[in-house]
């Protein structure tokens, strides 16, 4: 599996880290959606389409870079501005981090090496509206 050749920006800070997978999901949010009683026809008003991401990072060998990324992703703030690789070179959006996970790979004398860092970003506002 090849890695992406671009890193990411979070709140203006560039992280030159290997991206193994960047999964994009378009979620459609309705103001209301209900069925008409007589015909069963769906009545709906769409607020917009929210673009959310799940990102899997590759092995980050530098402990300082790993800790800085972990600290940024788990920072207790309402929102982040994230710039990801895209077909148009990059896509920037405001989001919140809904979850971050990793697992210990090696416990060494002076450090711990982690693997499988995964992060989920949920968009604050719709990317597309009707």
Average pLDDT across the chain, whole number = 92
Q: Are 74 and 117 in contact (CB under 8 A)?
A: no
Task: Tell which wins on pLDDT, 82 or 84.
Answer: 82
Nearest Cα residue to 44 out of 34, 53, 57? 34
The predicted pLDDT at position 1 comes to 41
20 Rama class: left (phi>0) / alpha (psi -120 to 50) / beta: alpha
Nearest Cα residue to 70 out of 29, 117, 104? 117
pTM metric for this prediction: 0.86
Alpha-carbon distance of 28 to 46, in angstroms, equals 7
Least trusted range by pLDDT, from 13-17, 72-76, 77-81, 84-88: 84-88
């Amino acid at each position: 599996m090849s890695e992406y050749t671009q890193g990411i920006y979070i709140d203006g800070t560039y992280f030159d880290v290997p991206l193994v997978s960047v999964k994009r999901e378009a979620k459609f949010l309705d103001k209301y959606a209900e069925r008409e009683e007589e015909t069963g026809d769906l009545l709906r008003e769409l607020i917009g389409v929210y673009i959310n991401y799940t990102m899997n990072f590759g092995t980050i060998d530098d402990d300082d870079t790993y800790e800085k990324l972990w600290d940024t992703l788990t920072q207790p703030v309402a929102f982040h501005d994230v710039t990801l690789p895209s077909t148009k070179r990059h896509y920037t959006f405001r989001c919140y981090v809904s979850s971050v996970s990793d697992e210990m790979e090696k416990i060494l004398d002076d450090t711990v090496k982690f693997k499988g860092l995964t992060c989920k970003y949920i968009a604050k506002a719709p990317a597309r509206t009707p």
